[in-house]
Structure 1
Amino acid sequence: LNSVDVIVDATPGDIGATYKKLYESFGRKAVFQGGEEPEVAEVSFNALVNYGDALGKNYVRVVSCNTTGLLRIIYAISRLGKIKRVRGFIVRRAADLKEIKKGPIEGIILDPSKPPSHHALDVNTVIKDLDIITYAVVVPTTLAHIHTLQFVLEGAVSRDEVLDTLANTPRILLVDGGLLKSTAELRELARDLGRPQGDIYENVVWSDSILVRGDEVMLTYAVHQEAIVVPENIDAIRAITRLKERAEDSIKITDETLGIKRWL
């Protein structure tokens, strides 16, 4: 630890907190992951939403894969006007490929049965005053999560406006459900097009899922749980070391380096 500037702690959930005293004893900054409790860090982090809050901090927590996905879409829709409320349903993958002791193998698990799921609470560690409720279930797949969100805005918007803001927001991809209608097809295409390990760093929004009625917006997107927080960790390093003062500058470098939004 004497030869590093920042530690990216990717240990299993709740383990990172046990190492914090070690990092403190060496006077080292650290980036923790979403499996840790928010109290482990000074800031819960998403590059699009609150990059500036992490500038110069010693301990930052990059929120979970699902929360990262939620925050990116919330950020994009907020560019159209003030959000009155968000309601979401999250279909969670049961495990990553290596997690052989996890399940279910058969069945769908309410996670939890009483709302909200922890994802809404985690969003509120970043956007304190947002009215958001999420439900979640766990299903027997390893490939990706799927979210369906409903927004109510303070004013009416058009479908074209929603498509435009999503297309012009970093780390959000639009795809045609007539061509790619499953997480399996998305992951296979990513592998075929040479993405390392088939990684998808972006939220992948099915454009034909977007429904707009006045002030109401609904949409569905996929979250590749193994990859989506990678660019966020890179930006968190730049924020706490103040290598880049502005979010857009860090995001541009990270996205160009990783080829984000350039493969599909």
Structure 2
Amino acid sequence: MFDRRALPGTIAGFLGLLLAMAAIITKEPVLVVIAGVLTAICVVLVLTLPNRAPVRYKERMDLQEEADKLARENDQMAARAAKFEAEAIAAREKLATAMLAERSQPVGADPSPAVPTPPRDPSDDITDPATGVFTQVFFDASLGKRISAARRGLRPLTVAMMEVVEKVGEPGMVQTTPKPVAEILTETLREADTVARMDSGVFAVLLEDTPENGAIWTLERIRRRISEDLQGCTVRAGMSCYPAYAFDAQQLVDQALGALDAAREWRQDRIEVTTANPDD
């Protein structure tokens, strides 16, 4: 967009150019002097023009941060809506079953009293109570939208599945306590990234605007932090990237889980990248 404050300098430079051409044609020294003066004025005005690039960059960053915040809030609302819809379907099925049972009872029979259901906090549907990170409900509801946003902005996106286990290679191998792992993930990753704990106990990590090499570096930082803070634990992770390996949400999740299975074949820390084809 043209900055109006540069208009005087532009006019001076244009007039200086015209006078210089006229001086070359007419060979008038006065025109040469005037053209030189106008050129000097143009240079001074351009050099003294304030640079608004840092201000505009900060404005863009603020707008991007606000857009990311609104997107996360929208994802939370979508996850809650999906959960409430499933609960409504289950309630309708339960009501239909109760009505059929009531019709089949003999006339005059005393139906069993209904047990009141305690109220539930909607935030419980999207937040894992053991770790404080998001649940699989939120992750599944937001992943598709994040891919659509990445597609519109022509930006990469990475999904990683990670588990931290103890006693690798032994019959008693178990997943480590999830709370400290979640804290390390939250502290290490950016605010724009998403951490969720899946129903299986595996942690899902969604890295915004992150290609393959950046995702590997991020997961390696997480691995080192866990190795330093949680002694005796083994970190295994699998990852896939949009659009290098997958084009939709289900592909990304399946490929990341497949890469995690490949990492589980090792008895040491391991980060695997999927080798799948996006056209598969």
More strand by share: 1
Q: TM range, normalised to the smaller chain? A: under 0.3
More helix by share: 2
TM-score by length of 2: 0.26
Which one scores higher on RCO, CA 8 angstroms, separation ≥ 6? 1
Whichever of the two has the greater Rg, that structure is 2
TM-score by length of 1: 0.27
